Amino acid sequence: MAFELPKLNYAYDALEPHIDARTMEIHHSKHHNGYTTKLNAALEGTAQENDSIESILGSLDMSNGAVRNNGGGFYNHSLFWDVMNPNNKGELSGELKDAIEETFGSFDEFKSAFSKAAATQFGSGWAWLCVHKGGKVEVCSTPNQDNPLMPGVSCGGTPILGIDVWEHAYYLNYQNRRPDYINAFFSVINWNEVAKRYAAGK
Ligand code: MN3
């Protein structure tokens, strides 16, 4: 069964002024759609074409560039849309808050570590908050469309929060000011969704 471009749970302009509507529209309908289409083409007729994306990435042959790039792109963007919320109603609380404070000392120190990972990822890539079995959290970054589910990539574990730092994610609104985009991202994080992913992945 082919993968489908997931629908957003909000309108393209719902994250303004933090992320502009034009960026969201191109990012979702062009970039994410392209990864989805190319992933399906790469999987068609292979033994993995009915597997879950998590299973495909977890057992990935890293020399398979088509599945690595497009499977990563499909998964990463699907997560990215879900961990944002225009209403920003969720608050960091409960066991995820405890885990973040245990690892980083405070929310502000976590924000600093995550922002630094995102700002210093050279070129295109992603920064992540991941959970390991047992509940410990970790921040890391990956180049291109790699992610921590892939064998031997960065911090491992299950990504529960991610920010796209490819220029296509922010250039229209922020040009070269990646740190401003990263800071704005913190205004639209859907902590309820991140907590749900933490509970499932710990
Ligand atoms: Mn992108």
**Beta strands per DSSP E along the chain:** 125-131, 137-143, 158-164
Average pLDDT of the chain is: 96
pLDDT confidence of residue 166:
98
Give 165 Cα–ligand 1 centroid separation in angstroms.
Answer: 7
Chain segment 95-109, per-residue pLDDT in tens: 999 999 999 999 999
Q: Following CA atoms 45, 152, 178, 98 in sequence, which dihedral angle do they give, to the nearest 10 degrees?
A: 110
- Is residue 3 situated within a structural domain? no
Q: What is the CATH number for 93?
A: 3.55.40.20
| Tokens (6 digits) for 114 | 């995550």
Give 160 Cα–ligand 1 centroid separation in angstroms.
Answer: 17
Contact 135, 103 (CB under 8 A): no
Give 163 Cα–ligand 1 centroid separation in angstroms.
Answer: 9
- Is residue 8 situated within a structural domain? no
Tell me how many domains the chain contains: 1
State how beta strands 137-143 and 125-131 pair.
Answer: antiparallel
Give 119 Cα–ligand 1 centroid separation in angstroms.
Answer: 15
Phi-psi sector, 128: left (phi>0), alpha (psi -120 to 50), beta: beta
Give 195 Cα–ligand 1 centroid separation in angstroms.
Answer: 23
pTM of the model: 0.96
- Is residue 13 situated within a structural domain? no
Give 170 Cα–ligand 1 centroid separation in angstroms.
Answer: 9
Query: Taking residues 182-191, what's their average pLDDT?
Result: 96
Nearest to 142 by CA among 124, 158, 130: 124
